[in-house]
Amino acid sequence: MASAPISQPACPQPLAAVQAFASAHYDESGAARFGIDVAGLATLLTEVLEQRDPTAPPAEVQSLLAALRVEELVLSRACMAGHDTAWEIFLTRYRAPMYEAAYKIARDEATARVLADSLYAELYGVNQRGESRTSKLHYYLGRGSLAGWLRTVVAQEYVNQYRRAKRETSLETAIEGGQQFPAAEEAESPVTDPRIAAETAFELAALNAEDRFLLAAYYLDRHTLAEIARLLRVHESTISRKLDRVAGGLRKRIRKGLIAAGMSARQADETMQDVDVCDLPVNVRETLRQGMREASFYQEKGGEQG
């Protein structure tokens, strides 16, 4: 995955609000144990705010500061600076959880260890060739917990590794591995009425982002209700009801739009190629194939997604 280049801190001048916040939260931040004084903490916070949103108006600074994980942020910056005590604390707190997270993500001990080790090198600020560079901790901006950030970074690295490995697998290796390839699809695909594409695009765009995410996660990626519910921190039944509502509403609105565009009700139904829920997986897979040249990550991991 592409990521933004690391920007060098510009050492902006702290705002008064930041200075006041640094003074008020200096003790709980634990900055003193890393030799960071109040002014240093204010500068650190200002840099983080600049990284997060350089255009944030001063009025919003207060709320941004209030939501910061100051203690973990200070620890990460102290680690970046190579503070021994900070690294001791970091390792004590996060070493085991990080390996555990890597194992849960990779589901394979060797892969998990490689993942975690490579991440450690990046956190230390050294790449695999031993060249020095900026620590990856620079990307931690205190929005969530440091442990959660580490899990996310491990997950990102895992997805990256998977895609890299996928690209590097030769055709021979794939065939030896038992992979089968579908016959080339027929050139002519059923001619779709342009009105349905336009109507669908319109109605999808009218959905809010969360609803689109829900549809994609469930119908395209085939995540379970439980997985989605866990991510969104709601009950499975809530997700189920919401999916019903969103999908049903979408279907109705598209149908209505098609009829308004001049189709008969029967024609609209046929054009929409109404699918029974039992047939849905087949159609979704077809859809994914059409959308992407390489096999989908989820198709590859389909067995694990359950």
Contacts to another protein from residues 120-179, by CB under 8 A: 139-145, 147-149, 151-156, 158-159, 163
Stated length of the chain? 306
- 11 versus 279: smaller Cβ distance to another protein: 279
Residues 230-289 that bind another protein (CB under 8 A): 230-231, 233, 240, 243-244, 247-248, 250-251, 254, 272-277, 279-280, 283-284, 287-288
Residues 30-69 that bind another protein (CB under 8 A): 33, 52, 63, 67
Helix (H, G, I), strand (E, B) or coil at 35: coil
Residues 189-218 that bind another protein (CB under 8 A): 192, 196-197, 200-201, 204, 208-210, 212-213, 215-218
Task: For residue 118, count other CB atoms closer than 10 A to its CB.
Answer: 16
> Does residue 80 belong to the site contacting another protein (CB under 8 A)?
no
Nearest by Cα to 152 from 135, 140, 163:
140
Binding mask 85-124 for another protein (x = CB under 8 A): xx-xx--xx---x--xxx-xx-------------------
Q: Minimal distance in Å, beta carbon 9 to another protein?
A: 16
Alpha-carbon distance of 206 to 136, in angstroms, equals 38
DSSP 22: H
Task: For residue 170, count other CB atoms closer than 10 A to its CB.
Answer: 8
Alpha-carbon distance of 120 to 98, in angstroms, equals 10
- 26 versus 149: smaller Cβ distance to another protein: 149
- 16 versus 96: smaller Cβ distance to another protein: 96
Adjacent-strand bridge partners of 132: 126
Residue from the set 183, 188, 290, 306 that interacts with another protein by CB under 8 A: 290
Residues 104 and 98 sit within 8 Å (Cβ to Cβ): no
Residues 142 and 70 sit within 8 Å (Cβ to Cβ): yes
Residues 133 and 77 sit within 8 Å (Cβ to Cβ): no
Select the span of 14-22, 36-44, 124-132, 227-235 touching another protein (CB under 8 A): 227-235
Residue from the set 227, 238, 259, 302 that interacts with another protein by CB under 8 A: 227
Alpha-carbon distance of 71 to 51, in angstroms, equals 18
- 10 versus 91: smaller Cβ distance to another protein: 91
